[in-house]
Structure 1
Amino acid sequence: MDTAIARSRLETMLAEADRSIRVLRGEHPERELSASDAGADLYDSDRVQAALDSLGRHRAGVLAALERIEEGTYGQCQGCGEQVPEGRLEARPDAARCVTCQSKHDRAMR
């Protein structure tokens, strides 16, 4: 994938992640709870925190991909060192590994 196109897509992804994070943080500011709202708000707060955690991981992956562009290693699998297939990078511009290495990485993380 052309790095200029990848950079543009990654920058768009980063802006979208930042916007989503701001929305989630803005919609659920810390506030005083009444006893009747405490259970519902705790559940809602857990969901919001899970979404923020997921967005944070996604954002970190996008930033890492932008850094790989700067370093000249974008598109090189961080597992085996081979080129990540073009189709994978088109589908996931933030992909750091080929499908085989990503599967191995995911299994190791469980």
Structure 2
Amino acid sequence: MDVTTARERLSDMLSELDRSIGVLQGDPVSVRDRSAADAGSDLTDTDRAQAMLVVATTQRRAVLDALKRLEEGAYGECVDCCRPVPEGRLEARPEAARCVQCQGKRERRR
């Protein structure tokens, strides 16, 4: 993927994530004057929103890191082994920091 396309895609992703994070950080639902069932449902919704916020924030960090690698001229290079990240992987995940092999190793360690 060329640098201009990568920058555009990453910038679009960042804008979308910022919007999503803004929505997820909205005011929590008040549980006052609600039935116990409604209050429990609201807490479950809050937990789900919190989990989605964590994922979006983690994704945002990955996009910012990819933009930084782009500026430094290291975009498309695996941060672990320094080999090229396959073009298809960057098309699917423009924020990818690792080649498939190194990403697999990282996930198995978790």
Normalized against structure 2, the TM-score is what?
0.91
How do 1:12-91 residues align onto structure 2 when only pairs under 5 Å count?
A: 12-26=12-26, 29-34=27-32, 36=35, 37-91=38-92
| Runs of 4 or more consecutive aligned structure 1 residues displaced over 3 Å after TM superposition | none
The number of residues matched between the two structures is 107
The equivalent residue for 1:7 is: 7
The structural deviation recorded for 1:30 is 3.0
The equivalent residue for 2:99 is: 98
- Please list the CA deviations of residues 51-85 of structure 1 after superposition, one character each: whole Å capped at 9, or x if unmatched: 00000000000000000011111000012110111
Partner SS, residue 57 of structure 2: helix
Residues in 1 aligned to 2:51 and 2:41: alpha-carbon distance in whole angstroms: 16
Unaligned runs of 5+ in 1: none
Normalized against structure 1, the TM-score is what?
0.91
The structural deviation recorded for 1:31 is 4.7
- Please list the CA deviations of residues 13-44 of structure 1 after superposition, one character each: whole Å capped at 9, or x if unmatched: 00001111112223xx1353135232111111
Amino acid at match of 1:24: L
